[in-house]
């Protein structure tokens, strides 16, 4: 290992739901949303070192003994395909930056692992191939990935090691960056590549059953560190991101180390454990009417029932504007209920024009074909926000978000009392601060409906009397057999114990 290694660092983050109605352009990676705006050069150190995300963890772990060549970090909210334009431009910033950096001892990238580009179904694998083409086959090169990575042979072949989150909700992003540095350090010290093993279970695992607070993921992930000994440096599970119609979609086990037989044996052991747990990946799903009825009977202010609107989770590519659950809440007569975040820039703009206290007729959400029509209602504007504020939950950890114009709307209906938090930039409702920004105190509600699959648990578990899961229309489908895969390799079951592709 060089006395003070010089490491190029960069990040590009996208989780691609190929079934969602719109994709990500270059501008989506440039502007700030739930994540910081595109950041280049030395500013990366200033912006990301304090943040509890992988590149922040990597910098904090490595800075005492390494020098950095920071290139670019950019992220866009999950949606459908990344344009070739966006991918090629950001890839070029990384590859050209590496080529122009002079002597380098290593490369680290902070990637997601489920990016699908118009011309490359394995986005990260293609990016890593381009980096490899610049640095050659021998330069140490490690990558951190989101737990929802669809890990591919291309990613494994073109990098020295992958370090993957081990929690969902993702509260170990920082630690994953630190672990990526630990692996890179070992790789540099060894002076030769790790042995690698990649294994893929034959079934897709839906997001809502992937939470590491519960079995089977709780034990599967808790068991990983004990396997990292005796020549096994790291073993991870990418649990997969099902709504990506690519050949290599699905969970994977990936292991590295200096003892090939031990690496293979560890990977086989975890693969066997996942396969043995197949039938345990399940949770009951309710219809919107069932969920609303249950929540009205059991929720009260101070002890709210939290309803997760799983299929419209924008953090998995949902439009975050479907109104099936909202309609059920209003028609069902919910009182002291709140729903968020509903993405509707037009509605937010109209509310800001009208001002606090105004009453107006609106057509809310429902613009992408998942609903027969928007939710038409008379509302009162209760509060407004510029959408720029800091959250403090376990996932975001003091991150400042930029969600554009926001509004709290009260649906004026004789039989119900439901408020909606509307935003102008799509973002998953995974932090109580996102509702407090428009004056909704979640604990004071009887029913809180959230457009999120699992991440909301990190901040809402503590106030929820109970959490229930609803299957209402949206792009983040819960059951694989409800859509048609065209590119997924044959033989893969579309859900645990489900029909094969």
Which residues contact Zn ion (rule: CB under 5 A)? Answer: 146, 148
Answer whether 393's CB lies under 8 Å from 379's CB. no
- Helix (H) or strand (E) run with residue 410 in it: strand 406-413
Q: How far is the CB of 31 from Zn ion (least distance, A)?
A: 21
Residue 78 or 140: which CB sits closer to Zn ion?
78
CB of 33 to Zn ion, least distance (A): 16
- Give DSSP secondary structure letters for 38-79: PEETTHHHHHHTTSSSHHHHHHHHHTTT-EEEEEEEEE--SB
Between 315 and 365, name the residue whose CB sits nearer to Zn ion. Answer: 315
Q: Coil, strand, or helix at residue 92?
A: helix
Rounded to a whole number of angstroms, the minimum distance from the CB of residue 401 to Zn ion is 17
Strands, sheet with 232-238, edge to edge from the N-terminal-most edge strand? 195-199, 252-257, 232-238
374: left (phi over 0), alpha (psi -120 to 50) or beta: beta
Closest CA to 225 of 237, 241, 209: 237
Find the shortest distance in angstroms from Cβ 134 to Zn ion: 28
At its nearest, how many Å lie between Zn ion and the CB of residue 29? 18
Based on CB atoms, which residue is closest to Zn ion, 14 or 148? 148
Shortest distance, CB of residue 193 to Zn ion, whole angstroms? 28
**Residue with Cβ nearer Zn ion (98 or 155):** 155
Q: Is the peptide bond before 149 cis (omega within 30 degrees of 0)?
A: no
Q: How far is the CB of 207 from Zn ion (least distance, A)?
A: 8
Alpha carbons 235 and 162: distance in angstroms, whole number: 9
Look at residue 419 and give its three-state secondary structure.
strand
Calculate the CA 434 to chain-centre distance. 17
**CB nearest Zn ion: which residue?**
148
| Residue 40 to residue 99: CA distance in whole angstroms | 16
Question: Closest CB to Zn ion among 148 and 187?
Answer: 148
Query: In terms of CB distance, is 146 or 248 closer to Zn ion?
Result: 146
Contacts of 493 (CB under 8 A, 6+ apart): 202, 203, 204, 499, 500, 501
**Could you give the maximum distance between any two Cα atoms of the chain, in Å?**
73
Give, in degrees to the nearest 5, the angle at Cα 476 between 499 and 220. Answer: 65
Distance CA 240, CA 250 (A): 4
Cα separation of the two ends of the chain:
47
Nearer to Zn ion, 148 or 426 (CB): 148
Give yes or no for a contact between 428 and 452, defined as CB atoms under 8 angstroms apart: yes
Taking the complex as a whole, how short is the minimal distance between the CB of residue 18 and Zn ion, in angstroms? 16
Least separation in angstroms between residue 170's CB and Zn ion is: 6
**C-alpha triplet 361, 363, 369: angle, nearest 5°:** 170
Q: Tell the smallest beta-carbon distance from residue 147 to Zn ion (Å).
A: 5
Q: Which is nearer to Zn ion, 146 or 312 (CB)?
A: 146
Q: Give the shortest CB-274-to-Zn ion separation in angstroms.
A: 18
- Which residues, listed in sequence order, are joined to residue 409 by a DSSP beta bridge? 381, 420
Closest CA to 309 of 300, 318, 301: 318
Q: Which C-beta is closer to Zn ion: that of 69 or that of 111?
A: 111
- By beta-carbon proximity to Zn ion, the closer residue of 201 and 315 is 315
Question: With respect to Zn ion, which residue has the nearer C-beta, 148 or 457?
Answer: 148
């Amino acid at each position: 290992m060089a006395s003070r290694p010089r490491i190029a660092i960069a990040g590009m983050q996208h989780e691609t739901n190929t079934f969602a109605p719109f994709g990500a352009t270059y501008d989506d990676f440039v502007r700030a949303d739930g994540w910081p705006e595109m950041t280049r050069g030395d500013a990366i150190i200033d912006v990301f070192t304090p943040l509890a995300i992988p590149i922040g963890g990597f910098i904090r772990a490595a800075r005492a003994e390494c020098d950095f060549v920071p290139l670019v970090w950019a992220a866009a909210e999950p949606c459908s395909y990344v344009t070739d334009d966006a991918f090629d431009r950001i890839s070029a910033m990384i590859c050209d930056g590496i080529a122009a950096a002079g002597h380098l001892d290593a490369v680290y990238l902070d990637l997601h692992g489920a990016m699908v580009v118009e011309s490359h179904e394995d986005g990260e694998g293609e990016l890593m191939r381009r980096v490899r083409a610049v640095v050659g086959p021998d330069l140490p090169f490690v990558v951190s990935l989101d737990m929802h990575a669809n890990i591919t042979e291309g990613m494994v072949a073109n990098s020295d090691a992958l370090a993957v989150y081990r929690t969902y909700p993702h509260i170990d992003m920082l630690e994953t960056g630190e672990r990526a540095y630990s692996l890179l350090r070992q790789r540099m010290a060894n002076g030769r590549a790790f042995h690698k093993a990649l294994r893929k279970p034959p079934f897709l695992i839906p997001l809502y059953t992937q939470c590491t607070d519960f079995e089977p993921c709780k034990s599967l992930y808790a068991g990983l560190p004990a396997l990292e000994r005796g020549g096994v440096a790291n073993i991870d599970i990418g649990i997969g991101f099902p709504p990506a119609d690519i050949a290599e979609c699905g969970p994977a086990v990936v292991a590295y180390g200096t003892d090939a037989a031990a690496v293979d044996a560890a990977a086989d052991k975890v693969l066997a454990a996942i396969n043995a747990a197949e039938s345990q990946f399940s949770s009951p799903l309710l219809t919107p009417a069932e969920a609303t009825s249950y929540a009205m009977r059991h929720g009260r202010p101070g002890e709210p029932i939290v309803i997760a609107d799983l299929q419209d989770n924008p953090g998995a590519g949902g439009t975050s504007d479907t109104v099936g659950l909202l309609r059920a809440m209003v028609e069902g007569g919910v009182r002291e209920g709140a729903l968020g975040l509903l993405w509707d820039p037009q509605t937010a703009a109209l509310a800001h024009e009208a001002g606090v206290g105004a009453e107006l007729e609106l057509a809310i959400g429902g613009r992408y074909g998942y609903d027969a029509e928007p939710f038409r209602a008379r509302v009162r504007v209760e509060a407004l926000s510029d959408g720029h504020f800091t959250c403090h939950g376990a996932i975001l950890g003091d991150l400042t978000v930029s969600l554009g114009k926001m509004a709290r709307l009260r649906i004026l209906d004789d039989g119900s009392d439901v408020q909606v938090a509307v935003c102008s930039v799509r973002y998953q409702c995974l932090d109580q601060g996102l509702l407090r920004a428009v004056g909704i105190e979640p604990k004071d509600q009887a029913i809180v409906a959230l457009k999120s699959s699992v991440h909301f648990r990190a901040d809402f578990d503590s106030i929820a009397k109970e959490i229930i899961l609803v299957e209402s229309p949206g792009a983040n489908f819960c059951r694989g057999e409800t859509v048609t895969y065209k590119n997924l390799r044959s033989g893969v079951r579309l859900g645990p114990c489900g029909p094969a592709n």
